[in-house]
């Protein structure tokens, strides 16, 4: 049975002092080998957090990656640069990137491909808006988003992590019920099963306002393999409680 993965997404939060206090508290409280744990931090803090994670089970993640290897792409960060800092995971296609930066399914798939080429596991995000859910389009939307990643990375699907993050439940305090989340995760698992002989190897995380109070019920669902944690990952006690629920 594969270990669950709990990945914190700090978003655009942090400072040198706050990061040190948070990471030290998380590392000190990590249970032994209960699940895999990572923190996806803003690019300026990769070196700091890499040093703080050394010798611990806490792995380093990035919040984005360029589709390009190098060149005249001001402000972009390549997968090779992330690899220099020991980055293990990179979030691609987060709903905030899709919404605020116009990222397309094709671009997200290319970013996943770039990460894989440098030995970095992409956490490929899919999810529907409230309007799409209310129109009964949830499964169509997430299947379309995942299909782009599958098509571009078919030979390496077993190395990808998928995160279902209903847009209407991100940072809103609203959460899909365990049953709603499981329904979408099962649809994604079926899609992966049609594309790879070992779909069970691919972790599918839930990423819609998972917190210390609801983590256990969400993580108990058969197709929920962990969590992509936003606000709760900025509070060591809450993050550790979610990690414990995944054990």
- Of the residues 59, 96, 165, 185, only one is catalytic, namely 165
The verdict on whether 159 is a catalytic residue reads: no
d(CA 247, CA 239): 13
- Mapped onto helix, strand or coil, the DSSP state of residue 204 is strand
d(CA 198, CA 115): 21
d(CA 80, CA 82): 5
Other C-beta atoms within 10 Å of 2: how many? Answer: 12
Other C-beta atoms within 10 Å of 133: how many? Answer: 19
- Of the residues 94, 96, 103, 185, only one is catalytic, namely 94
Exposed (0-12), middle (13-18) or buried (19+): which is 230, by Cβ within 10 Å? buried
| 164: phi then psi, degrees, rounded to nearest 5 | -90, 115
And the tokens for 92?
């691609």
Other C-beta atoms within 10 Å of 99: how many? Answer: 12
And the tokens for 227?
């969590």
Q: Which residue is listed with tokens 């402000």?
A: 75
H helix or E strand, kind and range, residue 121: strand 121-126
The verdict on whether 94 is a catalytic residue reads: yes
d(CA 33, CA 9): 21
- Residues with a catalytic annotation lie at 94, 165
């Amino acid at each position: 049975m594969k270990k669950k993965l709990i990945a914190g997404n700090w978003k655009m939060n942090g400072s040198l002092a706050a990061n040190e206090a948070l990471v030290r508290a998380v590392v000190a409280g990590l249970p032994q080998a209960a699940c895999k744990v990572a923190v996806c931090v803003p690019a300026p803090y990769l070196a700091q957090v890499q040093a703080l994670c050394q010798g611990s089970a806490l792995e380093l993640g990035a919040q984005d990656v360029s589709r390009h290897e190098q060149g005249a792409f001001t402000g972009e960060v390549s997968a090779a640069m992330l690899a220099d800092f020991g980055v293990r995971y990179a979030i691609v296609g987060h709903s905030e990137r899709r919404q605020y930066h116009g990222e397309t399914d094709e671009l997200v798939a290319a970013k996943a491909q770039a990460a894989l080429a440098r030995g970095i596991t992409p956490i490929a995000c899919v999810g529907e808006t409230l309007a799409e859910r209310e129109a009964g389009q949830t499964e169509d939307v997430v299947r379309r988003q995942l299909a782009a990643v599958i098509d571009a990375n078919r030979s390496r699907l077993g190395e990808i992590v998928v995160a279902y993050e209903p847009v209407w439940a991100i940072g809103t305090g609203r959460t899909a019920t365990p049953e709603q989340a499981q329904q979408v995760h099962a649809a994604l698992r079926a899609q992966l099963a049609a594309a790879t002989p070992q779909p069970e190897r691919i972790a599918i995380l839930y990423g819609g306002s998972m917190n210390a109070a609801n983590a256990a019920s969400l993580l108990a669902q058969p197709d929920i393999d962990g969590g992509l944690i936003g606000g709760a990952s900025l509070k060591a006690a809450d993050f550790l409680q979610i990690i414990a629920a995944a054990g």
